[in-house]
Amino acid sequence: MSRWQELPQTKFSPPQEWVKTLSADLAKESSLEQLAADPYWPKWNTPWWKMLLLYEMGAAQSIPQAAIEALCASVEKTHLDFFPLVEEELPKGIDPYRNIVCHCALGCLYQMLHFASANVDELFPWMRPWFIKYQLADGGLNCDEEVYTRETPRSSFLSTVPCLEAILYTRQSSELTKEEISFLDKGAQYLLKRELCCSISKGCLISKQWLKATFPRYYFYDVLRGLRFIAQWSQKLQRVVPEESVSRAINGLMSHRREDGLLATFQYPFVEEGTLVEKEDSWSWCDEAATFPLLDKVPRSDEIAQLLTEQLREALAIMNFS
C-alpha cells in the first residue's frame, strides 16, 4: 500500500460562516482605514492576516475588491520596491520595520493577490523579479539582510518557501521562464538536501514543531508546506524526487495523526511574538500581539484537520512512494 492510501479521503470546503464573517469584516470602513494606515502591522488582527487566512482556506476570491484595492494602495505607498542589504542603501526617513517588506511576507502577498484575481505583475512589476534577484547561492533566501554580506551566506526555510510558492503556484509550467525554472530547481534542491527539515551545518532536525502540520501557516514553515511545494514542483517540471530526501518529513507527519486518521493541527503561539503598534501618531514595539476570533477558532476545527490531511494525501499521491 502506498503511503497516501493510509490516509482517509477528505474533501475540504471552507465553512461559509467563516468566509462570510471574514469577508464582511474586510468590507468595513474600519478595515479600509487600517489598511491605509499600514498594510501589514500590527500583527495578527489586521486585514492582512484575515485576507491570508481566506487565501489559505482556498477562498481568496471572497476577499472584497475594496479591501484588495486598499491593500495595494497601501503597499505602493509604504513599501520599498527593493530589499536594502546595507545601511547606505536605505533612503532617508525609512522605517526598517514598516517600509521594508520581508521575502516571506512578499511571497505570501503575491500568492494571495494572484488568487484574489488581482493583476499583480501589472500593479507591482518589481515583485516577481524580486524573488529571483535575492536568491542565494545555496538556493534559498533570507530575510536577514546581514546574511547577504557574509562570506558564506545561508538561507532560511521560512524566507525561502513562500517565494518558491509565489513563482510555482501562480503559473502553468509552460508559462515559466528559464530563469524561473532555474530558480525553482535551485530552491527545490535547497529543501531536498536538507530533508525538508534539517540543518546541514549542524546535522540535526531544526525544529520538532516543523514535523507537525500547521494552520494557518502565514510565513511560518512546516514540512507539509515544504512537501507540497516539492510535489507540485516534481509534477509541473517533471522532476524526480528521491524518496530518502522526504521520508523523514513524511514519517514525522504520519506520526502526528489523530485516532480517526486525520492529521492533528498545530497552531503557532502568535500573541507571544509581539508586534508594532501605533500610539499617538508613532509606532512602537509591544511584546504581546492580538489575534481575532476566527484565528483562534479555525485551527482547532475538524474542517482544518481534513484540509491538511487532504494536502498531505495529494502530495503523497503525486510522488506515489510505496
Mean per-residue pLDDT over the chain, rounded: 95
pLDDT of residue 322: 65
Rounded Cα distance between 296 and 287, Å, is 19
Per-residue pLDDT tens digits for 208-254:
999 999 999 999 999 999 999 999 999 999 999 999 999 999 999 99
DSSP reduced 3-state for 284: strand
Rounded Cα distance between 222 and 197, Å, is 8
pTM, full prediction: 0.96
DSSP reduced 3-state for 156: strand
pLDDT of residue 271: 83
Per-residue pLDDT tens digits for 149-188:
999 999 999 999 999 999 999 999 999 999 999 999 999 9
Sequence letter at residue 19: V
Residue 49 contacts by C-beta under 8 Å, 6 or more apart in sequence? 43, 218, 292, 295
Contact 294, 53 (CB under 8 A): yes
Own/partner long-range contacts of 93-100 (Cβ < 8 Å, ≥24 apart): 95/283, 97/41, 97/276, 97/283, 98/38, 98/40, 98/41, 98/276, 98/283
Q: What residues does 263 pair with on adjacent strands?
A: 257
Q: E-strand spans in 177-232?
A: 198-199, 204-205
Using pLDDT thresholds of 50, 70 and 90, give the confidence band for residue 8. Answer: very high
pLDDT of residue 4: 79
Length of the chain: 322
